[in-house]
Amino acid sequence: MHIAIVGASGAVGQELLKVVEERNFPFDELTLFGSERSEGKEYFCKGKPYKVRQLRHGDDFKGVRFAFVSAGASVSKEFMEDITRFGTIMIDNSSAFRMDDSVPLVVPEVNAGDAKFCPRRIIANPNCTTIQMVVPLKALEDISHIKRVHVATYQAASGAGATAMTELENQYRQYLNNEHIVVERFPYQLAYNMIPQVDVFGEDGYTKEELKMYHETRKIMHSDIVVSATCVRVPALRAHSESIWIETESPISVENARRAFERADGVTVIDDPDNRQYPMPLPATGKNDVFVGRIRKDLANPNGLTFWCVSDQIRKGAALNAVQIAEYLIR
């Protein structure tokens, strides 16, 4: 089997190389693509070196079974025809096709079956904040229908890509050395700060990131669920955190919620407040699961439950989710 990674030099592309190696994803041939900036760079996978080729229009994807694409929405739109024309399944990490009715939006723990119906040969990976939220939500939805969600996110710098991680690291160094602090990837200095804006502002004062959580959750869960989000960029390097309040049709006890989370695929419960055990971004970094803790009743709503959820968004929020989709299709 021949696979391709488009955007190999990026934060998600680099994680894809790790994930296919760790999971021993079956391939005989691997082609890496990027722009002219990374053309010729060499990366290793399963002990073998691979050189990045420049992504061009043409027939480079002939014979490629799966293309994992993470080079931004405009690249996905521009090259979609070239990638899918000869039968390649494009698993796309960008927002380009997520809300297209003929493109399934898939989180394997929630709606794996949707991946089978992809008439355009494109399957979209949801937004990272949505992926880590719907995995535990699915476990609760199976007990009682979730009507409403309020969520506040605490999103790591790496959600904005490899150069954004470097910017945060540089800003801490610049601050400590009393140097000029360079701000390019975020609207303000992120080091020692928090920014209540992820992506640009859209309708009614919500950012695009917040609206993605609204629309994508409904599509993935095939539900009339409503999601009201506030997305905040925080100076963590990697792994997003979310504070989630849900309202269900009938109340779910804390014990039942914990049991459902413990049984759910892809969820690990860390919830022992007496011993200060709860999920955090640093220990979640590089891990596959969505970590859930601080499970408790919502004091403001008799049908409410609240919990804290952390996951490595480059991994489960992007690379791992994409590879799991391909694994599902192979099975």
The residue ranges that bind ligand NAP (CB under 6 A) are: 7-13, 33-35, 37-38, 55, 70-73, 75, 93-94, 128, 158-159, 161-163, 313-314, 317-318
Q: Which is nearer to ligand NAP, 84 or 93 (CB)?
A: 93
In angstroms, what is the minimal distance from the CB of 209 to ligand NAP?
10
Q: Which is nearer to ligand NAP, 14 or 171 (CB)?
A: 14
Catalytic residue among 45, 118, 240, 309: 240
In angstroms, what is the minimal distance from the CB of 11 to ligand NAP?
4
SS3 state at 36? coil
For residue 167, give every residue at least 6 positions away whose Cβ sits within 8 Å of its Cβ, in sequence order, or none: 157, 182, 183, 184, 185, 186, 190
Instruction: Please indicate whether residue 145 is annotated as part of the active site.
Output: no
SS3 state at 45? strand
DSSP 152-175: EEEE-GGGG-HHHHHHHHHHHHHH
State both tokens at 104. 């399934």
Q: Which is nearer to ligand NAP, 181 or 237 (CB)?
A: 237
Cα separation values, 288 from 141, 228, 280, 324, Å: 22, 26, 14, 11
Q: Which is nearer to ligand NAP, 92 or 247 (CB)?
A: 92
Instruction: Specify whether the CB–CB gap between 43 and 49 falls below 8 A.
Output: yes
Instruction: Please indicate whether residue 128 is annotated as part of the active site.
Output: yes
In angstroms, what is the minimal distance from the CB of 94 to ligand NAP?
3
In angstroms, what is the minimal distance from the CB of 212 to ligand NAP?
10
Catalytic residue among 45, 128, 231, 309: 128
In angstroms, what is the minimal distance from the CB of 161 to ligand NAP?
3
Q: Which is nearer to ligand NAP, 233 or 306 (CB)?
A: 233
SS3 state at 13? helix
What does the buried/exposed string (b/e) look like for 25-63 if buried means 16 or more CB atoms within 10 Å of the residue's CB?
bebeebbbbbeeebeeeebebeeeebebbebeeeebbee
The DSSP symbol for 181 reads: P
Residue nearest to ligand NAP (CB): 10
Q: How far apart are CA 234 and CA 20, in angstroms?
A: 29
Instruction: List active site positions.
Output: 128, 240
